[in-house]
Amino acid sequence: MAETEKVQLRRGLRDVYIDRTQISFIDGKAGKLLYRGYNIHDLAESCSFEEIVYLLLHGTLPTKVQLAELDALLKQGRKLPKEIVETIRITKNAHSMDVLRTAISALSAFDSDITDNSPEATLRKGIRLTAAASSIVTTHARIRDGKEPLEPNPELGHAANFLYMLSGEVPHPEDAALMDKDFVLHAEHGINASSFAARVTASTNADLHCAVTAGVAVLKGPAHGGAAESVMHMVNEIGTSDNVPTYIRDTLKGGGRIVGFGHRVYKTTDPRAVHLREDAKRLGERKGQPDLIAILEAVNEAMEPYCRKGICQNVDFWSGAIYHLLGIPTDLFISIFAMGRVPGWTAQVLEQFSNNILLRPLLTYEGEHDLPFVPIDKRS
Ligand code: COA
């Protein structure tokens, strides 16, 4: 068609810039990631998740006083309304991400700021949703396992409280620190598919609960947030590190993909994976499960020729192993990613609202034109 010839089609919006941002910078060739100008390596080594929440939402690193204020707000936001706990009970047989999406959506009925899209109200809602997401995931995990949900522990930071509300035990400080770092590394990543969904939602002037609900829905797909879970399934399928070369060869020969590898933006090692790799190794030794790490290292080695072509390990390659070693059930892995990403989605929505424009691309039509209409009783 003439129309198709005129347009420049960019399937998958590959390499398309849709706006300007001040939130994060990704250099996919150099493997560089900045949040608000700060290098992810510095942030991962030196900042708590709470500091990152502040940084993403306010644009600057917090002072001690600002951090204490945010911490208090996050702790207040951990308590779920009883109706939300009931919603979780009703939907307990669904996947953790479906329950998270449903409960975040249902929280709109209990948020006094729901109709207010001002930056102040959106920020307040973002903090509350960041805190509530953790309680939703842990409450659901316990209910579906036949246990009673636990009250949040106000003595613990965000990551430690998450592990506590899941298991009922105050976590080892190193486990809590690792969980915290994982949340830091997952907090924001530009206009990925789920953040794009959140921004499209905000572009219609819908509220933050709608945008975060959309973000969770989009993150659920295996091409985006599901890879950590798939990596654990792959490890189980491989069995021992001796089987790795055959597994890689057969999978690639059959046209399959090696999960935890490849990224739309990174064409070198994902800088977030660098941190988790060392941590996963140490954790594997501390938990007496070095075999799991040996399999992952063998996969990494076997994939080296592909990494030279730009298909390198991504953040999810190691995060799944870490969650597993922390005793977290496999089907919660994507929800952990979602919990960490709520501040990123909120920052994206705040930025979209600050200079809003309806996100409405075009499709080039390739179907029939002007067909003669046939009434239903004349159709064969
Ligand atoms: N294993 C094997 N080959 C891979 C691959 C992988 N993990 N990822 C990409 N490729 C190959 C594709 O087969 C394709 O090859 P071809 O051009 O010969 O057909 C090429 O690389 C480009 O793949 P494409 O799907 O177009 O790239 P993308 O940028 O759209 O894909 C992902 C990005 C993440 C969807 C993709 O790398 C993938 O499916 N990875 C596995 C799942 C995963 O780890 N997701 C988490 C991302 S954080």
Residue with tokens 């707000």: 73
Number of domains into which the chain is organized: 2
Query: Do residue 84 and residue 37 come from a single domain?
Result: yes
Q: Looking at the predicted structure, is the pLDDT value of residue 238 above 70?
A: yes
34 and 151 belong to one structural domain = yes
> Is residue 4 in some structural domain?
no
Summarised one tens digit per residue, pLDDT across range 244-283 is: 999 999 999 999 999 999 998 999 989 999 889 989 999 9
Measured from the CA of 260, which atom of ligand 1 is nearest? 44
Say if residue 285 is in the same domain as residue 174: no
**Which residue carries 């979602």 as its tokens?**
338
Q: Which domain range does residue 312 map to?
A: 227-325
DSSP assignment of 183-241: HHHHS--SS-HHHHHHHHHHHTT--HHHHHHHHHHHHTSTTTTTHHHHHHHHHHHH-SG
| Mean per-residue pLDDT, 126-153 | 98
Residue 5 Cα to ligand 1 middle (Å): 28
Among protein residues, the one with the nearest Cα to ligand 1's atom 2 is 257
Long-range CB contacts (< 8 A, 24+ apart) of 286-295? 286/174, 287/325, 289/325, 291/240, 291/241, 292/235, 292/321, 292/324, 292/325, 293/321, 294/241, 295/235, 295/238, 295/240, 295/241, 295/244
Domain boundary among 325, 346, 375: 325
Whether residue 304 contacts residue 192, with contact meaning beta carbons closer than 8 Å, is answered with no
Collapsing DSSP to helix, strand or coil, 35 comes out as strand
Query: 286 and 306 share a domain?
Result: yes
* Residue range 158-215, pLDDT digits in tens: 999 999 999 999 999 999 999 999 999 999 999 999 999 999 999 999 999 999 999 9
Q: Which two three-digit tokens encode residue 151? A: 């009250």
Supply the residue whose CA is at minimum distance from atom 13 of ligand 1: 257
Band of pLDDT at residue 2, cut at 50, 70 and 90: low
- Kindly state if the Cβ of 314 falls inside 6 Å of ligand 1: yes
Compute the distance from residue 263 Cα to the ligand 1 centre, in Å: 6
Task: Tell me the mean pLDDT in the region 115-136.
Answer: 98
Whether 216 has a pLDDT exceeding 50, the answer reads yes
pLDDT tier, 62 (very low <50, low <70, confident <90, very high otherwise): very high
Task: Give the pLDDT score at 5.
Answer: 62
Residues 150 and 295: their CA atoms lie apart, in Å, by 35
pTM over 0.75: yes
The answer on 256 and 209 residing in a single domain is no
**Looking at residue 138, what is its pLDDT?**
98
Quick one: 209 and 121 in the same domain?
A: yes
